[in-house]
Structure 1
């Protein structure tokens, strides 16, 4: 059950990126599950935290190339965290298998 809740926190990027890890982190008293829920929540928040300065720089940029570069950088960050969550979810599931 520990692995399922922990991996579900990572896999929630598909259906409830912020809500499920917060609920699991608050509701479950197991330290192992809470640690993975907190990591999943932080990894879900990372692209949006990175979007704030990128949005500022995009609005301040006066060249189309700069704007495109910042958008591509956001896409790389988002795709990287998406893959990270999938990999971590699988690793947690396979930990005790």
Structure 2
């Protein structure tokens, strides 16, 4: 009987660890909000950040390896916002040169 109790306790500890890890994982998608704050003003970075934040939170709830998915969405969001900033920078420089 003691073995069954020990086995149940180890299963409960494992389930508790998984829940605690999932609580920690919810911080990673929220890091997407940093990109629009540091970005050029505009609606596009906020839309990208909110979309990937939603996708990251959804991945935590549904996938087996949520850490990999969450970090992938974080990197994709950062890359898209960075690309948007470069495009805005070059277009604005071109327009300034064109008008001068």
Alignment size in residue pairs: 56
Residue 48 (1) aligns with residue 46 (2)? yes
- Matched residue SS, 2:84: helix
TM-score, normalising length from structure 2? 0.51
1:56, distance to aligned residue in structure 2 (A):
1.1
1:89, distance to aligned residue in structure 2 (A):
1.1
Structure 1 outlier segments of 4+, above 6 Å: none
Unmatched segments (≥5 aa) in structure 1: 1-12, 18-43
Q: d(CA) in 2 for partners of 1:54 and 1:83?
A: 20
**Larger Cα Rg: Structure 1 or Structure 2?**
2
Residue 92 (1) aligns with residue 95 (2)? yes
With a CA cutoff of 8 Å and minimum separation of 6, indicate the structure with the bigger relative contact order. 1
Alignment of structure 1 residues 13-92 onto 2, 5 Å? 13=40, 17=41, 44-62=42-60, 63-92=66-95
- Greater share of helix: 2
Q: d(CA) in 1 for partners of 2:80 and 2:44?
A: 8
1:50, distance to aligned residue in structure 2 (A):
1.6
Q: d(CA) in 1 for partners of 2:80 and 2:43?
A: 11
TM-score, normalising length from structure 1? 0.52
Q: d(CA) in 1 for partners of 2:92 and 2:59?
A: 37
